[in-house]
Amino acid sequence: MAKYAENTAVSSGESRNEIERTLVRFGASQFIYGWKDEAAVIGFTMNGRQVRFVLPLPSRNDREITHTPARGQLRTKEQQEKAYEQEVRQRWRALAVTIKAKFAACEAGISVFEREFFYDTVLPNGQTVGEYMMPQIEQSYQTAKMPPMLPALEWRAEK
């Protein structure tokens, strides 16, 4: 299956700038960008909430970077760098369109900010809602049990 924007010529920097322009257009009051190792981060503040997107970046050692897709032949260093840059551009384009689509849904009245950005909203402890909730959701599915609504009261009842 083809990836969205897999052959894009739009640079990563242009995509980041587009994200920033989109955020400004829709009323964000703060914006940050950074990267480390194999991830980039976009953060912004809007509607009294901090939102953080972590964009996984490929490793230069990934097989899709080091080898050709058709025959699995080792690429030259130059070909590997070109494949790496293409993969990074593709991911930035996908993030740009994702953020733009979320705001477009809000603007059209299809959705609301809180629903579209819920998973990526940053909690006071630095985790996103998604990072906090996913283990609990996974446990609920594995055990077929919901966590107690008021754990402190349940603990007192057991005494």
What are the DSSP calls for the chain, one per residue?
A: -PPTTTT----HHHHHHHHHHHHHHTT-SEEEEEEETTEEEEEEEETTEEEEEEEE---TTSHHHHB-TTT-PBPPHHHHHHHHHHHHHHHHHHHHHHHHHHHHHHHTTSS-HHHHTSTTBBPTTS-BHHHHHHHHHHHHHHHT-PPPSSHHHHHHHH-
Q: Residue 154's pLDDT is what?
A: 55
Q: What total number of domains does the chain contain?
A: 1
Residue 82 lies in a domain: yes
Q: Residue 100's pLDDT is what?
A: 98
Q: Residue 18's pLDDT is what?
A: 98
Mean pLDDT by 10 residues, the chain (159 residues): 90 97 97 95 96 97 94 96 97 98 98 97 96 91 82 53
Q: Residue 54's pLDDT is what?
A: 97
Residue 51 lies in a domain: yes
Q: Residue 38's pLDDT is what?
A: 94
Residue 106 lies in a domain: yes
Q: Residue 150's pLDDT is what?
A: 65
Q: Residue 153's pLDDT is what?
A: 58
Residue 6 lies in a domain: no
Q: Residue 148's pLDDT is what?
A: 74
Residue 147 lies in a domain: no
Residue 32 lies in a domain: yes
The domain of 48 spans 12-122
Residue 132 lies in a domain: no
